[in-house]
Amino acid sequence: MSALGKLLIWAGVGLVLLGLALVVAARWGWTLGHLPGDLVFRRKNLVIFVPLGTMVVLSLVATWLLHLWQRWGR
C-alpha cells in the first residue's frame, strides 16, 4: 500500500500545481478553451463549441509529461 499512497500524494500535488497554473493563467487573460482553432457555431437558440485548439495543446502537454515520466521511471 505504500506505493499507492505515494502515487496518490503525487497526484494530489500535481492537481494543486495544475490548479494554480490555471488561476495564474486566468489572471493573465489566458483561459483554457479560448485558443485559436477553437470553433464556435452560433444559431438562434443553439451554441456548439468544438475546442480543437485546446485539445491539440492538451494532447501535446500530456504526451510530453508521459514521455518525461517514462524517462524518469527507468
pTM of the model: 0.58
Phi, psi of 37 (to 5 degrees): 100, -15
How confident is the model over 20-53, as pLDDT tens digits? Answer: 988 888 888 877 777 888 999 999 999 999 999 8
Report residue 12's pLDDT band, with 50, 70 and 90 as the boundaries.
Answer: very high
Residue the block writes with cell 502537454: 61
| Length of the chain (residues) | 74
**Closest-CA residue to 73 (of 5, 7, 1):** 7
% of the chain at pLDDT higher than 70: 97
Interatomic CA distance for residues 14 and 30, integer angstroms: 20
